[in-house]
Structure 1
């Protein structure tokens, strides 16, 4: 299945749906910060997510219980790959350097990342 881009609003709702796993529109509304959008707006965005293949639903009476079809991990993989490709010429080093220059990573972060890389290199396959 091809993963599609999410708008900011769609991604915000997907974060909630991933967190809840199974939910009704009301449940999503309960997790949105103030000022909350209209119920119909949230319902419409969730139906768009369904059209894009991110969620599906079970009909329970007249209500729909939504659940994710694409995992957060799969979307994270897709978004990271797209970020790397579109902004860093597919270079992890370039992205890493950017975050260091922007002071988004401190020395302890860098040390932890290097430890993870070394651990992964030494892992049996």
Structure 2
């Protein structure tokens, strides 16, 4: 499923539409928070969102029933991939590192994912990314020095 970019106004409206799922224009007008846009404005956005593939329509007499096609989770995934590609060279590791550095994510937040940080410190392959992100620069230097020593011992 190809997902198209939404403007911020379209995205704001889609948040409401995802909650509604299946709806008529009158449902949107009732549910839209104040200040309510004009009905023609909403109609124009519905047409655009239908053309972009976010909504389907079914004519019922003189009115249309709309249905969301693209799930909110798919759009969220699309946005994260775009963000990752444009600002973090496609690296989830860089994104998480940035979020930790900017204090958007804490170690406590990451512990909620049942990552065993003691095991991560032992550099088991499946936890290596956590080790690299959570260690301080000092710990990274120590780790690099240990690797250099081991490499020299092998040679």
TM over 0.5, shorter chain: yes
CA distance in 2, matches of 1:113, 1:97: 16
Q: Quick one: higher RCO (CA 8 Å, sep 6+), 1 or 2? A: 1
CA distance in 1, matches of 2:104, 2:11: 22
- In structure 2, runs of 5+ residues without a counterpart are 121-125, 127-155
- Structure 1 residues 4-29: Cα deviation after superposition (integer angstroms, max 9, x where no partner): 10011111121222111101122122
Secondary structure of the structure 2 residue equivalent to 1:64: strand
Residue 114 of structure 1 deviates from its aligned partner by 5.5
CA distance in 1, matches of 2:60, 2:2: 29
Structure 1 segments, 4+ long, off by >3 Å, are: none
Query: What is aligned with 2:46?
Result: 46
- Structure 1 residues 30-60: Cα deviation after superposition (integer angstroms, max 9, x where no partner): 2322212111111110110001111011111
Query: What is aligned with 1:11?
Result: 11
TM-score, with structure 1 as normaliser: 0.83
- In structure 1, runs of 5+ residues without a counterpart are none
- Structure 1 residues 70-113: Cα deviation after superposition (integer angstroms, max 9, x where no partner): 12222222111111101111111111122122222223212124
CA distance in 1, matches of 2:27, 2:101: 40
CA RMSD of aligned residues (A): 1.9
Secondary structure of the structure 1 residue equivalent to 2:23: coil
Query: What is aligned with 1:109?
Result: 109
TM-score, with structure 2 as normaliser: 0.68
Query: What is aligned with 2:99?
Result: 99
Larger Rg: 2
Task: Work out whether 1:61 is the aligned partner of 2:61.
Answer: yes
Task: Work out whether 1:73 is the aligned partner of 2:73.
Answer: yes
Query: What is aligned with 2:135?
Result: none
